[in-house]
Amino acid sequence: MEVSKVGIVGAGQMGNGIAHVFALAGYDVMMTDIDRDALDRAVAQIDQNLERQVSREKINADAKTDAMRRISTTLDLPELGTTDLVIEAATERETIKTAIFEDLVPHLQPHTILTSNTSSISITRLASRTDRPEKFMGFHFMNPVPVMQLVELIRGIATDEPTFKTCLGVVDKLGKTAASAEDFPAFIVNRILMPMINEAVYTLYEGVGSVKSIDESLRLGANHPMGPLELADFIGLDTCLAIMNVLHDGLADTKYRPCPLLTKYVEAGWLGRKTQRGFYDYRQDPPTPTR
């Protein structure tokens, strides 16, 4: 199936990155959100990130202008009915995602493929809440989307082969690499990454190391581009906790229990970079550890 117009639901950190890479690859993009300010901020962020790519000579100025021209925004979810592929990138909460699908589905064309950028929720269960489980898939990008090479493609139990093949072709056109994952809690990347981050929080909680020594150990001792606590702040501590809960509930194994210190940070509203405070305090430059 030919995909030319793509709808993106949610203009947050992931949604704006997804819009950026699709527009740059030549797709017409329509982005929607319930908040006009969020849409405006997303467009400004895409402009800034594209400009960074121009200044680093990754793309030329014409490519940036063309990409910006291909992006439109709307507050009206049904307007996504004209697209060939929809990627839902709303908040990582199942009730929110299913409510979006229920509102959107009556407006979609029969051929439209519906996908979710969920980082952990069952694709089969999300698909079952739509009218098209065979045309439903997980389309999971990594953050920052314009930089990270991988897209996880997750088939639900009912996903058909043409849908999977179409999404593979789209990933290819984006210039990214697809990894196919089965539909089990948190798929591949987060099944491995989140327990590592959670263990780093336990290492802090138990006093084995400080924020600085834990991050330095993994950066310099394992060649990770960011330490695990810095990465947790980058992803969002609420997202990390939500994924650990999905692993804990879905696999019923105590090795996935979220660290109480991670829960406490989320309870405090210290969610990482997006709230200016997490394991680091970003109100100072350079950011300082909060423990």
Residue 267 falls in the annotated catalytic set: no
Binding to ligand CAA (CB under 6 A) within 32-51 occurs at 49
20: left (phi over 0), alpha (psi -120 to 50) or beta: alpha
Tell me which amino acid residue 158 is: A
Ramachandran angles phi, psi of 219, nearest 5°: -70, -50
Residue choice 81, 144, 169, 195 for contact with ligand CAA (CB under 6 A):
144
DSSP per position, 147-211: T--EEEEEE-TT--HHHHHHHHHHHHHTT-EEEEE-SSTTTTHHHHHHHHHHHHHHHHHTTSS-H
CA distance linking residue 258 with residue 245, whole number of Å: 7
Q: Is 90 helix (H, G, I), strand (E, B) or coil?
A: coil
Q: Which of these is catalytic: 92, 190, 198, 230?
A: 190
In the numeric block, which tokens belong to residue 210? 């400080």
Tell whether residue 286 is a contact of ligand CAA (CB under 6 A).
Answer: no
CB 162 to ligand CAA: min, Å: 26
Q: Which of these is catalytic: 119, 120, 122, 198?
A: 119
CA distance linking residue 70 with residue 37, whole number of Å: 20
Closest to ligand CAA by CB, 125 vs 224, is 224
Tell whether residue 67 is a contact of ligand CAA (CB under 6 A).
Answer: no
Tell whether residue 63 is a contact of ligand CAA (CB under 6 A).
Answer: no
Tell whether residue 241 is a contact of ligand CAA (CB under 6 A).
Answer: no
Tell me which amino acid residue 97 is: K
Residue 119 falls in the annotated catalytic set: yes
Closest to ligand CAA by CB, 58 vs 69, is 58
CB 224 to ligand CAA: min, Å: 7
Q: Which residues contact 286 (CB under 8 A, 6 or more apart)?
A: none
Tell whether residue 58 is a contact of ligand CAA (CB under 6 A).
Answer: yes
CB 63 to ligand CAA: min, Å: 13
Q: Which among 67, 68, 234 is positioned nearest to 142, based on CA atoms?
A: 234
Binding to ligand CAA (CB under 6 A) within 105-124 occurs at 119
- Residue 290 has, within 13 A of its CA and on its CB side, a CA count of 23
Q: Which of these is catalytic: 88, 92, 117, 152?
A: 152
**Residues across the chain:** 291
Binding to ligand CAA (CB under 6 A) within 185-204 occurs at 189-190, 193
Determine contact, residues 137/125, Cβ cutoff 8 Å: no
- Which residue is nearest to ligand CAA, using beta carbons? 119
Closest to ligand CAA by CB, 148 vs 158, is 148
Tell whether residue 178 is a contact of ligand CAA (CB under 6 A).
Answer: no
CB 92 to ligand CAA: min, Å: 8
Q: Which among 248, 269, 140, 154 is positioned nearest to 194, based on CA atoms?
A: 248
Residue 190 falls in the annotated catalytic set: yes
Closest to ligand CAA by CB, 170 vs 218, is 218
Residue choice 68, 148, 196, 251 for contact with ligand CAA (CB under 6 A):
148
Residue 152 falls in the annotated catalytic set: yes
- Where on the chain is the footprint of ligand CAA (CB under 6 A)? 49, 52-53, 56, 58, 119, 142-144, 146-148, 189-190, 193, 225-226, 231, 235, 239
